[in-house]
């Protein structure tokens, strides 16, 4: 859950906000310990999304890339596909 006090507090300057965000980013932990683990986890998310839509992963991605309608599932599928491509670099 979001820390409401941090959301209410306004930084005095832009540099204060950047410094705060930088310090918080140093405390953060990565979601995955390796690229292979990230690809596996993201692929699982994509497969789950495709199952919910009643499609295969390929069908979901094809629909997302060719459809003129912007469904939330399609946008999520495209985002996950881009993440997989990034981690495969």
Question: Cα Rg for the chain, rounded, in angstroms?
Answer: 18
Give the model confidence (pLDDT) of 28-64 as tens digits. 777 888 999 999 999 999 999 999 999 999 999 999 9
Encode pLDDT of 3-15 as tens digits. Answer: 556 555 666 677 7
Sorted by where each begins, the domain ranges of the chain are 35-88
- Tell me the C-alpha distance between 80 and 53, whole Å: 15
Q: How does pLDDT run across 54-87, given as a tens digit for each residue? A: 999 999 999 999 988 878 889 999 999 999 999 9
Instruction: Give the DSSP letter string of 8-31.
Output: HPPPSSHHHHHHHHHHHHHH---S
Q: How far does CA 57 lie from the centroid of its chain?
A: 17
pTM of the model: 0.65
């Amino acid at each position: 859950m979001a820390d409401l006090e941090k959301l209410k507090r306004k930084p005095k300057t832009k540099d204060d906000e950047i410094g705060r965000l930088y310090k918080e980013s140093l405390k953060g932990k990565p979601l995955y310990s390796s690229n292979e683990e990230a690809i596996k986890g993201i692929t699982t998310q994509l497969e789950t999304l495709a199952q919910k839509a009643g499609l295969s992963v390929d069908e979901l991605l094809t629909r997302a890339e060719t459809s003129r309608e912007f469904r939330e599932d399609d946008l999520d599928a495209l985002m996950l596909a881009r993440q997989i491509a990034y981690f495969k670099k």
